[in-house]
A and B are shown apart, each in its own frame.
Chain A
Amino acid sequence: MYRNILLARSNIRKAKGQTAAIIVLVLLSSLMMNLWLMLSMDYRKNFERCHDRLNDGHVNIAAYVTDDEFKNFISDTLEERTDITDYTVSDAFCEPMSFEYNGGEISQLGVLLEKEDALSRNVGRFEITEDSTYKSGIYLPMLYGTGNNYSVGDTVKITLLGEDFEYTVCGFFNSAMNGSHNCGMMALLLTEDKFNEFSEEAAALKSVYVSARVNDISKCEEIATELKDETAKEFPDVVVTSNDYKLVSTSRYISQMICAGILSAMAFLVLLIGVVVIASNIANYIQENMQNLGALKAVGYTSGQLVSALLAQFAGVSAIAAVIGTVLSYCVFPAVNEMMIAQTGIPYSVRFQPLPVLFTIIFITGIVSAAVYFSAKKIKKIEPITAMRQGISTHNFKKNHLPLEKTSLPINAALAMKTTLSGLKQNITVCVTMLVLSLVLVFSATSFRNTIVDFQPMVEMIAGEFADSAINVNPNREDELVSVLENDSRVEKFYMFTNNNMEVQHVDGLSLFVSVVGDCSKMNNQSMFIEGRYPKYGNEFSIAAKYAKDNDIKIGDEIALKVGNSEEKYIVSGFTQCSNNLGKDCVITREGYEKISSLPNVTYYIDFAEDIDIDDFNSELSDRFGSDVNAIQNIQSILESTGGVYVMLMTFLVIAIVIISCIVIIFVMYLLVRTMLNNKKRDYGILKALGYTTTQLVVQTAMSFMPSVIISSAVGIAVSMRLINPLMAVFLSGIGVVKGTFIIPVELCIISGIVLVIFAFGAACLMSLRVKKIAPRELLIGE
């Protein structure tokens, strides 16, 4: 053992630069792997901990009714069910509301609760995370107190029922199931005086808000559907909305899921590069040290001992690098945590997690050890006498690649190509590196194009339909609204698109959020219909692809849908994609919906000509329709505010990926060039003696990498452009995405590829400057 360590130490001393480069690659991989594991394991569990601590409900229901008969009914129903373990019923106001956030606007179904009542709820308790001396006002979810948003003492203007209400921010609270705009229903806590004031002033529809805990979390979606179904049977006119554990726990962690997915992919890709580099290094080591290895065998070392020495060297170095990487991941994690909190809205305290650390170190060391073992196995084939006699010159040069007499290439290019064609190991390492980096660059370019430059494609892929503005009015004013919109020159297009928390139930299935559309051909996001077509007729509907896949529903199938006690059969005309409800959506025509229910109100989506002030237009409509306006939204503003978090996250990830790619290229090039200069030091000396300048040799060296760099980058970019959307679908499958619909920025990808090649060439040139140190006089052998 000690002998092996001595050999390993001697090897490391001889190759300090190579060891440092391998450390950097392994370190980067372990840093990202540990971050990924922390985000995937404990970070996700933080939601469970928060949920348990607050004894929050697994199913929350808001019913737009307050009479005792309903309360008794719901209490009895919950008591009778054996799958409900506990519940709390509270009075609340449930209304669509909006307020300014993150430079834009948040629009969500709001659940307004009285603060003290909310804090004392048995199930679905709220906790104050920041309090103040202000006694009258509002408590906001803590999410809105992060970044440059609201602070205690600020005034927040909330639009409810078409009216503006201004409240002083008294503090912030935490709630697992209602603490962000990703929860389906978002709570706001009013102090007692403001709650009563709102009750009197707004003539708001009071609601019952129920939080129930179940004994089997996996059934929470079904239980929510059954509860709504039972309610509909008894109270067919009562509108009921809900959220459940699965919906909230997933949608609050979308950014965590994206970030963890990217980190895991990057960790494995960088590790793959590291392993290829290590394998290539070992092959070179054996080639360079053939005579020494033969000599060691001659003095009695066994092949196993020599392989063990290499294992000790590389596995030891990798284990140390993995430890450093995991330590560094804890330095990076607070910044990542800050970004995540801006989306999850649930506080998380960074703490040491032994399991991810152990897994990272053991996994990386194990993979490296396996690579070392398989690469070093050829030591067993080395016969001591053969190795000592022939050493490196045991090469069998079967072919003189690119004879200079016949090639039309300039001499420097021709010599570079000769090196390329005779360097299989070098080419494999370059190809693997460039293929991997091409993929991550295409991912970065695509993310840059579809989120940072223009958020619309991201919206189209995950958020469903969008427009400039949306107005929801009572049905009695619909004709007037249509007339106004038709005659306003600022309006470019408008169409009926009603989806304010309305649901239909798939008979024998789950509740599906429904979008009722006047004319689907007018919708802006046609890419939402990913297969088949949108519904045209009253007997058609299109259903979320994920739900269809999970329930084996095919285009052309006839499916029964119901609202309350009305039931009707519809033909599936196509599949849609939208992550708002984790892939439990459907789109139906107005004619189709009205077969089973009437619309309580209607929403029109409006697009404007360029340079129209949306807020001004909305104000005009609001003034005109007064109390008949239930909600009016500046959708672009909402997209800006909610998208801001994702844009920030993607910006961070793209920058990180580009930096990591640069580091990887530099270190891989360093290792390859160093190996080449060591192997061909004599040849470089000869060429210098013949009159080749340092510049020529530097360019020759860098050029020798270029064929594999260019070919693998071109192939990598081309293949990655085809792969990126399917990969996106895999990444985002958890939120209902089954088909990636990102715009592939072909020009940007090609430019990225060209930049990658130029950077690789530059890095290779830079590393090849060591050629300068090789002097022809080194060929002089004694006097």
Chain B
Amino acid sequence: MKNTLIKTERLSKSFSSGGAMQHVLKNIDLELYKGDFTVIMGASGAGKSTLLYALSGMDTPTLGKITFGDKVITDLSSDGLALFRKEHCGFVFQQIYLIDTMSVLDNVLAAGLLVSKDKKALATRARELFKAVDIPEETINKFPTQISGGQAQRAGIVRALINSPEILFADEPTGALNSKSGLDVLDTLTSFNEQGQSVVMVTHDMRSARRGNRILYLKDGIVMGECDLGKYTPNNEERHKKLSEFLTRMGW
């Protein structure tokens, strides 16, 4: 029996565009479970990132309800949502979004100090996480512009995890990286998921999607289907085949 972490009911999001309403998400009923590595796939414009940002409280839906645990986050103000994000969520962005004027370590601590006042404990945890994502000590005091894209994205993951969030959201985390760096980032996410970290990742890359145990496919703002791939193991052809068939069925 899986524990539900996030539940949506009739979740809709519309944007006004040139006087006409564009319905990006349409009445989505969805449950996300604790410990899962959920992957949201779909073509460009399907509403993947919009769904991710709504689920994470980064954006508010036009209609519907999102419940996180037993808390309805759709009722929260923008400051309420900010508090919700800092307490429960971590984010990894496609464009990384580290603050250029702060060192890599400070980028992580700026997120951590929002929740905890214990600088020493935070710095220790940050160093453990940096070690876990294979960022050497001498790099953490550099500025984001002085390190590689892969290192920066892994530092972004450390920032997302510094507060031990209940759920980690990742929006195309390998989108701005080369193949090797992208793989390192995926390994990092997989590794944390194996340690129990819930992950929701948006991607349109099949190689990335394979890391998830649950695949949701979005088309025109509707969850068209889902696929349970089971636990990730490297070089598992059966999982690869299952995912390919699912995506083919979905019209990928």
Are B83 and A393 closer than 8 Å at their CB atoms?
no
Select one of B58, B84, B89, B110 contacting A687, CB under 8 A: B110
- Judge whether B103 is part of the interface by a CB distance below 8 angstroms: yes
Question: Considering only CB atoms, which chain A residue lies closest to B159 in the complex?
Answer: A690
In the bound complex, how far is the Cα of B77 from the Cα of A129, in angstroms? 71
Are B145 and A691 closer than 8 Å at their CB atoms?
no
Are A403 and B105 closer than 8 Å at their CB atoms?
yes
Q: Find residues 387-413 in chain A having any chain B CB closer than 8 Å to their own CB.
A: 393, 395, 397, 400, 403-405, 411
Are B113 and A411 closer than 8 Å at their CB atoms?
yes
A682-722 vs B, Cβ < 8 Å mask (1 yes, 0 no):
11011111111111000000000000000000000000000
Residues from chain B with Cβ under 8 Å of A776 in the complex: 53, 58-59
Are B94 and A781 closer than 8 Å at their CB atoms?
yes
Given A683-B99, A691-B85, A779-B93 contact (CB < 8 Å) = yes
Are B49 and A691 closer than 8 Å at their CB atoms?
no
Beyond contacts A397-B101, A683-B100, A691-B89: 7 other A-B pairs, Cβ-Cβ < 8 A, are A400-B141, A400-B143, A404-B110, A694-B78, A776-B53, A780-B53, A783-B48
Are A691 and B95 closer than 8 Å at their CB atoms?
no
What's the minimum C-beta distance from A302 to chain B, rounded to whole angstroms? Answer: 31
Residues from chain B with Cβ under 8 Å of A395 in the complex: 100, 145
17 A–B contacts, CB within 8 A, in A order: A400-B102, A404-B106, A415-B110, A419-B101, A688-B82, A689-B97, A690-B91, A691-B83, A691-B84, A692-B114, A694-B78, A694-B82, A695-B79, A777-B59, A779-B95, A780-B171, A783-B50
In the bound complex, how far is the Cα of B48 from the Cα of A781, in angstroms? 11
Question: Considering only CB atoms, which chain B residue lies closest to A405 in the complex?
Answer: B123
Are B79 and A694 closer than 8 Å at their CB atoms?
yes
Are A686 and B99 closer than 8 Å at their CB atoms?
yes
**Which one of B1-9, B26-34, B39-47, B130-138 is at the A interface?**
B39-47
Residues from chain B with Cβ under 8 Å of A393 in the complex: 100, 145
- Judge whether A354 is part of the interface by a CB distance below 8 angstroms: no
In the bound complex, how far is the Cα of B122 from the Cα of A147, in angstroms? 72
Residues from chain A with Cβ under 8 Å of B105 in the complex: 403-405
Are A682 and B119 closer than 8 Å at their CB atoms?
no
Are B101 and A683 closer than 8 Å at their CB atoms?
yes
Residues from chain A with Cβ under 8 Å of B102 in the complex: 400, 404, 418
- Judge whether A422 is part of the interface by a CB distance below 8 angstroms: yes
What's the minimum C-beta distance from B112 to chain A, rounded to whole angstroms? Answer: 9
In the bound complex, how far is the Cα of B50 from the Cα of A602, in angstroms? 97
Are B85 and A779 closer than 8 Å at their CB atoms?
no
Question: Considering only CB atoms, which chain A residue lies closest to B94 in the complex?
Answer: A781
Residues from chain B with Cβ under 8 Å of A600 in the complex: none
Are B145 and A397 closer than 8 Å at their CB atoms?
yes
Residues from chain B with Cβ under 8 Å of A783 in the complex: 44-50
Question: Considering only CB atoms, which chain B residue lies closest to A772 in the complex?
Answer: B78
Are B44 and A782 closer than 8 Å at their CB atoms?
yes
- Judge whether B87 is part of the interface by a CB distance below 8 angstroms: yes
What's the minimum C-beta distance from B246 to chain A, rounded to whole angstroms? Answer: 20
In the bound complex, how far is the Cα of B145 from the Cα of A419, in angstroms? 18
Q: Find residues 264-285 in chain A having any chain B CB closer than 8 Å to their own CB.
A: none
Residues from chain A with Cβ under 8 Å of B58 in the complex: 689, 776-777, 780
The interface size of chain B toward A, counting residues with CB under 8 Å, comes to 45
What's the minimum C-beta distance from B137 to chain A, rounded to whole angstroms? Answer: 12
Q: Which 6 pairs, one residue from A and one from B, show the smallest C-beta to C-beta distance?
A: A691-B86, A411-B113, A404-B109, A400-B103, A693-B79, A777-B59
Residues from chain A with Cβ under 8 Å of B123 in the complex: 405
In the bound complex, how far is the Cα of B111 from the Cα of A691, in angstroms? 8
Residues from chain A with Cβ under 8 Å of B103 in the complex: 400, 403
Question: Considering only CB atoms, which chain B residue lies closest to A406 in the complex?
Answer: B119
Residues from chain A with Cβ under 8 Å of B114 in the complex: 411, 690-692
Residues from chain B with Cβ under 8 Å of A694 in the complex: 78-79, 82
Given A397-B101, A418-B101, A422-B101, A689-B91 contact (CB < 8 Å) = yes
Are A782 and B49 closer than 8 Å at their CB atoms?
yes
In the bound complex, how far is the Cα of B97 from the Cα of A685, in angstroms? 9
A741-783 vs B, Cβ < 8 Å mask (1 yes, 0 no):
0000000000000000000000000000000100111011111
Residues from chain B with Cβ under 8 Å of A779 in the complex: 93, 95, 97
Question: Considering only CB atoms, which chain B residue lies closest to A398 in the complex?
Answer: B143
In the bound complex, how far is the Cα of B145 from the Cα of A775, in angstroms? 24
In the bound complex, how far is the Cα of B59 from the Cα of A782, in angstroms? 14
Are B101 and A404 closer than 8 Å at their CB atoms?
no
Are A693 and B83 closer than 8 Å at their CB atoms?
yes
Are A404 and B111 closer than 8 Å at their CB atoms?
no
Select one of B87, B109, B111, B159 contacting A405, CB under 8 A: B109
Residues from chain A with Cβ under 8 Å of B145 in the complex: 393, 395, 397
In the bound complex, how far is the Cα of B103 from the Cα of A414, in angstroms? 14
What's the minimum C-beta distance from B203 to chain A, rounded to whole angstroms? Answer: 12
Question: Considering only CB atoms, which chain B residue lies closest to A421 in the complex?
Answer: B101
Residues from chain A with Cβ under 8 Å of B89 in the complex: 691
Tell me which of B100, B105, B106, B143 has the highest count of chain A C-beta atoms within 10 A of its own C-beta: B106
What's the minimum C-beta distance from B158 to chain A, rounded to whole angstroms? Answer: 13
What's the minimum C-beta distance from B110 to chain A, rounded to whole angstroms? Answer: 6
In the bound complex, how far is the Cα of B109 from the Cα of A201, in angstroms? 96
Q: Find residues 645-692 in chain A having any chain B CB closer than 8 Å to their own CB.
A: 682-683, 685-692
Are B95 and A690 closer than 8 Å at their CB atoms?
no
Are A397 and B100 closer than 8 Å at their CB atoms?
yes
In the bound complex, how far is the Cα of B162 from the Cα of A405, in angstroms? 14
Are A403 and B106 closer than 8 Å at their CB atoms?
yes
What's the minimum C-beta distance from A21 to chain B, rounded to whole angstroms? Answer: 25
In the bound complex, how far is the Cα of B136 from the Cα of A140, in angstroms? 93
Residues from chain B with Cβ under 8 Å of A772 in the complex: 78
Residues from chain A with Cβ under 8 Å of B159 in the complex: 690
Residues from chain A with Cβ under 8 Å of B49 in the complex: 780, 782-783
In the bound complex, how far is the Cα of B103 from the Cα of A405, in angstroms? 11
Are A690 and B109 closer than 8 Å at their CB atoms?
no
Question: Considering only CB atoms, which chain B residue lies closest to A683 in the complex?
Answer: B99
In the bound complex, how far is the Cα of B84 from the Cα of A52, in angstroms? 82
In the bound complex, how far is the Cα of B119 from the Cα of A397, in angstroms? 24
Residues from chain A with Cβ under 8 Å of B53 in the complex: 776-777, 780
In the bound complex, how far is the Cα of B143 from the Cα of A247, in angstroms? 70
What's the minimum C-beta distance from A517 to chain B, rounded to whole angstroms? Answer: 69
B45-87 vs A, Cβ < 8 Å mask (1 yes, 0 no):
1111110010000110000000000000000001100111111
B105-129 vs A, Cβ < 8 Å mask (1 yes, 0 no):
1100111011100010001000000
Residues from chain A with Cβ under 8 Å of B143 in the complex: 397, 400
In the bound complex, how far is the Cα of B86 from the Cα of A688, in angstroms? 9
Question: Considering only CB atoms, which chain B residue lies closest to A397 in the complex?
Answer: B143
What's the minimum C-beta distance from B173 to chain A, rounded to whole angstroms? Answer: 13
In the bound complex, how far is the Cα of B94 from the Cα of A687, in angstroms? 16
Residues from chain A with Cβ under 8 Å of B85 in the complex: 689-691
In the bound complex, how far is the Cα of B102 from the Cα of A419, in angstroms? 10
What's the minimum C-beta distance from B181 to chain A, rounded to whole angstroms? Answer: 18
In the bound complex, how far is the Cα of B47 from the Cα of A676, in angstroms? 33
What's the minimum C-beta distance from B131 to chain A, rounded to whole angstroms? Answer: 16
Residues from chain B with Cβ under 8 Å of A683 in the complex: 99-101
Question: Considering only CB atoms, which chain B residue lies closest to A393 in the complex?
Answer: B145
In the bound complex, how far is the Cα of B143 from the Cα of A694, in angstroms? 26
What's the minimum C-beta distance from A743 to chain B, rounded to whole angstroms? Answer: 47
A362-404 vs B, Cβ < 8 Å mask (1 yes, 0 no):
0000000000000000000000000000000101010010011
What's the minimum C-beta distance from A288 to chain B, rounded to whole angstroms? Answer: 14
Residues from chain A with Cβ under 8 Å of B109 in the complex: 404-405
Residues from chain B with Cβ under 8 Å of A422 in the complex: 101
In the bound complex, how far is the Cα of B74 from the Cα of A199, in angstroms? 98
In the bound complex, how far is the Cα of B101 from the Cα of A693, in angstroms? 20
Select one of B44, B83, B100, B113 contacting A404, CB under 8 A: B113
In the bound complex, how far is the Cα of B102 from the Cα of A395, in angstroms? 13
Are B110 and A411 closer than 8 Å at their CB atoms?
yes
Residues from chain A with Cβ under 8 Å of B46 in the complex: 783
Residues from chain B with Cβ under 8 Å of A777 in the complex: 53, 58-59
What's the minimum C-beta distance from B96 to chain A, rounded to whole angstroms? Answer: 10
Are A692 and B44 closer than 8 Å at their CB atoms?
no
